[in-house]
Amino acid sequence: MSISVYPKESNFDAVIDGETRPIKPFLKWPGGKRWLVKQHAYLFQRTEKRHVEPFLGGGAVYLHVQPKDALLSDLNPDVISIYSAIKESWRAVVELLRMHQSCHSDVYYYKVRELIPRDPIERAARILYLNRTCFNGIYRVNLQGKFNVPKGTKTKVILADDDFEAVAGLLKSATINHCDFEDTLSRCDIGDFVFCDPPYTVRHNKNGFIKYNENLFSWWDQQRLAEALKSAHMRGADILCTNADHESVRNLYDTKLFEIFTVSRFSSISASAESRRHFTELVIRSRRN
């Protein structure tokens, strides 16, 4: 399997012949926003503003907007290790992925799953390999923090549309931090565009939102997020936040400051076909005079 590689001396430019070169997200992540970018691209205007994402995850919005300046963070160390490694040494990551591809098997998958490399490049390549070959692209760790998703059916580790050099070129102008969302939002000010996609589930309608979501993103976290976004808004940042469509979440946001509406998505991550259906999610957006 080959990968598209550009000349060593080339510099990534988000705009080629007047058009932005699309970059496909390379990481499959729970709650990823590929669908939002595809179905509701009007929400994301390319501007000269600094782009801020405190829940980076799969990075679908960041890779779509392709900002010249960005502040990116996530509390998940595996997420940050991948983006940092690609930014600093994308070729080394690709070489390790090629090695994983050539060795991939049932035995090899579980062997890699048990190992925790010390080298940051090896650690990043490991989690990306697992992400691409585990069951359904799920990310899950046990109480000891160890990745424990079983092997899936996919065997390709290097994909035809991978463009790690483009991602690395884009990341050159980004600051990447491993931290809590509140730390990142406290740095936002006038002229920043903030996109927030906190962990949540849309499968709450029959289960009770607070109980069902507590292990993903606690109610205290939701309250902290609402306050942090309000503060950033008051300092002049433009806010766009997705969240679970639930009355308790709506009530956290002052409608004098934020416009609140819903968008729909189709959820395909389910064990049974009958439970795969459309769900609505909240969009919380700054009001500007």
Mean pLDDT in residue range 83-97: 98
Percent of the chain with pLDDT over 90: 73
234-255 residue pLDDT tens: 999 999 999 999 999 999 999 9
Q: Residue 213 has what pLDDT?
A: 61
Percent of the chain with pLDDT over 70: 84
Nearest Cα to Cα of residue 124 among 5, 23, 27: 27
Q: Residue 264 has what pLDDT?
A: 87
pLDDT of residue 8 exceeding 60, the answer is no
Task: Give the domains, in start order, of the chain with CATH numbers.
Answer: 24-75+179-286 (3.40.50.150), 77-172 (1.10.1020.10)
Please state, in angstroms and rounded to a whole number, the distance separating the CA atoms of residues 47 and 107.
48
Q: Residue 265 has what pLDDT?
A: 76
The token pair at 196 is 């927030």
Q: Residue 178 has what pLDDT?
A: 98
Please return the burial class of 149, using the count of CB atoms within 10 Å of its CB with bins 0-12, 13-18 and 19+.
middle
The token pair at 169 is 């070129």
Please state, in angstroms and rounded to a whole number, the distance separating the CA atoms of residues 232 and 109.
43
Rg, Å, the chain Cα set:
19
Chain centre to alpha carbon of residue 277: 22
pLDDT of residue 13 exceeding 70, the answer is no
pLDDT of residue 17 exceeding 70, the answer is no
pLDDT-derived band at 46, boundaries 50, 70, 90: confident
175-196 residue pLDDT tens: 999 999 999 999 999 999 999 9
Average pLDDT of the chain?
87
Please state, in angstroms and rounded to a whole number, the distance separating the CA atoms of residues 193 and 12.
23
Q: How many CB atoms lie within 10 A of CB 76?
A: 18
The 70-74 sheet, strands edge to edge: 174-178, 70-74, 50-53, 192-196, 238-244, 278-286, 258-266
Phi and psi dihedrals of 226, rounded to 5? -60, -40
What is the three-class DSSP state of 123? helix
pLDDT of residue 10 exceeding 90, the answer is no
**More confident: 279 or 202:** 279
pLDDT of residue 214 exceeding 70, the answer is no
**More confident: 255 or 210:** 255
